[in-house]
Homo-oligomer: A and B are copies of this chain.
Amino acid sequence: MTIPTATSESIPVRSALGQHSLYDFHGCPAEALRATERLRAAMLEAVRSAGGTIVNDTFHTFSPHGVSGVIVIAESHVTLHTWPEFGYAAVDVFSCGVTLRHEIIRDHLARILESKRVEQRAFPRGAVER
């Protein structure tokens, strides 16, 4: 996996390899959360806009309702799971390096999902010496 770094250091430092963002979209219309193909297109576009390099993707429509989608990117992954019955979608964005703009994915999906309230949490991962 390629790990672009913001700065080059000659002295090994403990720094996080990746950043993991959890986004929770509340108050979304049920129809926006059921539209598998539209959601897939939106996720792919969001990842490209954010600077991600798409490797593969898989999307599934569940019975009676709900969509799960995963995009594997060179930088790690972006996932989406929807619960139309609760007007809720869970998204996570995990990337190594500094190239992927998580907030662009968040904002693009908030628009597509017509979310009334977005919660976000972010966690550094993989503190290693390098």
Q: Which residues of A contact B (CB under 8 A)?
A: 1-3, 17-18, 20, 22, 24, 26, 55-56, 58, 60, 62, 65-66, 68, 70, 72, 74, 76-77, 79, 81-83, 86-88, 90, 92, 94, 96, 121, 123, 125-126, 128, 130
Contacts and interface: CB of A to CB of B under 8 A. Distances in A.
User: What's the dominant secondary structure at chain A's contact region?
Assistant: strand
Contacts of A76: 68, 79, 81, 90
20 contacts: A1-B62, A1-B81, A3-B83, A18-B90, A22-B123, A22-B125, A24-B126, A26-B128, A55-B68, A60-B72, A68-B72, A70-B77, A77-B81, A79-B94, A81-B94, A86-B126, A87-B128, A90-B126, A92-B94, A121-B123
Nearest to A84: B1
A90 B1 contact: no
A92 B20 CA distance: 10
Listed from nearest, the 5 A-B pairs whose CB atoms lie closest are A1-B66, A86-B128, A70-B70, A1-B62, A88-B126
